[in-house]
Structure 1
Amino acid sequence: MHPRGMSSTAPTILHSLAPLALQGELMNRIENHVLEAQDYVLTAKQDTKKAIRYQNKARRSMTHFYMMNHFYMMRADVYIILSLF
């Protein structure tokens, strides 16, 4: 028996538990990384939806701009043609 009342197998058991504690710590880190990745994916999904909305809005604005520009150019052409007479 050891001087503190521990048997001779106690250090062996403690020595065997050290890698187990280390593995538990590694598992906790992996779990935290997975949870962080889930948060990043959720944020990216929301940002992508927002980007699609902005892109569609910009496309509609550009279409409206081109239509109005075309309309005013046609009016200018008609005005020029009529001013020739």
Structure 2
Amino acid sequence: FNTGKMFGSIENPNILTHRYEGWLAGAGISYGYHWVLGNRWGLEATIGVGYAYLEYDKYPCERCGRKIATESKHYFGPTKAAVSLVFMIE
């Protein structure tokens, strides 16, 4: 997180100067399909959507300070996508 980016691409410059503590709850559904490519080979694809609720407290630095704020966020949207090449071992 020392670049201000979370998980490689989500930008949040506050992550460099603030500490967050909280919890997350969520649920989702996914769908997948498998295609047979040969005797031992296959291809799988899956996609998922879901809902997440996040509630957290924000602090001014890593180990010090009083709580600045309590916030919550709602998220609904894609939660996973994958394409996998499968080799079956007997």
Instruction: Using structure 1 for the length normalisation, give the TM-score.
Output: 0.16
Higher-Rg structure is 1
Q: Choose between structure 1 and 2: higher helix proportion.
A: 1
Flag the structure with more relative contact order, 1 or 2, with Cα contacts below 8 A and sequence separation at least 6: 2
The structure carrying a bigger strand percent of its residues is 2
TM-score normalized by the length of structure 2? 0.15
